[in-house]
Amino acid sequence: MPAQQFDVLGIGNAIVDVIARTEDDFLIKHGMQKGTMALIDEARAEAIYDSMGPSTQISGGSAANTIAGVASFGARAAFVGKVKADWLGRAFTHDIRAASVAFTTPPATDGPQTARCYVLVTPDGERTMNTYLGAAQNLTPDDIDERLIAAAEIVYLEGYLWDPPQAKEAFRKAAAIAHAADRLVALTLSDAFCVDRYRDEFLNLMRTGAVDLIFANERELHSLYQTPDFDAAIKALRDDVKLGAVTRSEKGCIVVSRKSNEVVEAAPIEKLVDATGAGDLFAAGFLFGLAREADHWTAARLGALAAAEVIQHLGARPETSLKDLAQDNVLPI
C-alpha cells in the first residue's frame, strides 16, 4: 500500500462559477426554482448568460471548493476532475494549483468545453445554480490513478458526479481502491434534486458500506428518506451509515454516529452575502478535522468556521486563511 501522501483527495466536477446578483423576478422569468441546482445544455447556458447582469468568474465545483478549503487549513490536498484544454480549463487548473492543491488529471483535447455554473444570488443571499457540465461529465475510470487514490487518507466524492455514467464508474472504482487501502470514503449528497434522481443508488452505497461518511443538508436528508420528520430521518441515517454530518444553516449541524448525535452551533457572522459554498466549506473543515484525528465536535466546529467565512463574501472558496482562522478560535489544526 502506498504511503499516505494526502490528507484528503476530492473527485468531482471541474467547473468555473459565473456569479451574478439578481432578483427573484429573474428566476421566475427563466423558470428556475430558487435555491436549487439544475443541469442545462449548451443552448440554455448561452441564453442564461446573455440575459444575466454583470458577473464574476471564479473557479468552482462542489468537491473542488471543498478541497481548496482543506488546503487553506494547511492540509495536503488533491483533486481529480476533467477540464478541456481551453481558456476556462486553463483558468481552473491555474486556480486550483494556486490554492496548493495537487491536480494532475489530463485535460481533454476534443469534445465539449470546460464546465461552467451560473450562480444567481438573490438579495437574501440564496443561490440558484444552472450548470452546464461540459467536459466535466467526461471523467472516466481511466482518469482514476490507483496509487493517487490509495495515498489519500480520505477520498471525498460529490453527488453531482453521479449524473454522467462514466463518472459514476470512476467513482465506484475510486471507492473500491480507497477501501482496499483501508482509507475512508465520504460522499456529499450535493442537492435535493440529485437525491431525487438517485435515491436508491445513494442508499445502496450507504447500506453496502461503499461510503463511510455522508454530508447532507436538511433538504437533502428529507429527500433521501422521503419524510418531513427530521428526527425520523436522522434515526434512519444513523442506521444506514457509519457517520453523517447534517447541516442546518443558522441552526448549526448534527453529527450522527452509531454511538450518539452531537449538535454543534453555527459560527457567528456579521452579514450573509452569498450562501454559495457553505456546505462545501463545512465539509472542508470537517474532513480536515477527521484527517487530523480530531473528535467529531471539533471537526464540526472547524466546518462551521469555514462555512461562516465563505458566506460573508461572493464566491465559494475562502478568501481568508482557514488555518489562521482556526488558530484565532483556539481550535487544533
243, 186 contact by CB (below 8 A): no
Q: What is the pLDDT of residues 97-135, one digit of tens each?
A: 999 999 999 999 999 999 998 989 999 988 898 989 899
How many whole angstroms from its chain centre is CA 129? Answer: 14
φ and ψ at residue 227, rounded to 5 degrees: -145, 140
Q: Under 8 Å CB-to-CB from 118, ≥6 apart: which residues? A: 18, 20, 45, 48, 49, 52, 129, 130, 131
Q: What is the pLDDT of residue 17?
A: 86
User: Domain 6-13+62-110+134-328 classified CATH 3.20.190.10?
Assistant: no
12, 59 contact by CB (below 8 A): no
Question: pLDDT band at residue 333, thresholds of 50, 70 and 90?
Answer: low
How much of the chain, in percent, has pLDDT values that exceed 90?
Answer: 77
Q: What is the pLDDT of residue 202?
A: 97
| Selection from 60, 117, 108, 104 nearest residue 84 by Cα | 108
What's the average model confidence in pLDDT over 161-188? Answer: 93
The CA distance from 277 to 315, in Å, is 7
Neighbours of 200 (CB within 10 A): 8
Domain boundaries, the chain: 6-13+62-110+134-328
Task: Kindly report the average pLDDT of the chain as a whole number.
Answer: 93
Q: What is the pLDDT of residues 188-220, one digit of tens each?
A: 999 888 999 999 999 999 999 999 999 999 999
157, 171 contact by CB (below 8 A): yes
pTM confidence score: 0.89
